[in-house]
Amino acid sequence: MSEALIKAGLAGELEPGSEEFERFVDLTARRPSGPEGVSHYRDPKDHYKSFQLAVRLLALRADDVYLELGFGGGQLLKMALGKVLRVAGIDHSP
């Protein structure tokens, strides 16, 4: 069931707000499961280059305040904190 649900969600076939859509979001974003999903959430190595590019292109200065929406595991937020004194994040996951 999970594999079919994920395929349907990635194809945009689920109605936002429906029980199936919420389960899809849980499986893929809010509550990653299994050793591979949890490991990727905590350490998304394949995203580091794009995170570094984003921080560079933002040209953050020490007096900036950085706000990230949907910060996931917080790795990009942490990179921004290396450039500015204040960061904040909002995420739908507990």
What SS3 class is residue 69?
A: strand
Is residue 76 within 8 A of residue 54, CB to CB? The reply is yes
pLDDT tens digit string along 33-62? 667 666 666 677 778 899 999 999 999 999
Q: What is the mean pLDDT of the chain?
A: 85
Residue of 9 and 64 predicted with greater confidence? 64
H or E element that contains 39: helix 34-42
Structure tokens, 27 = 């499986």
- Tell me the C-alpha distance between 25 and 9, whole Å: 8
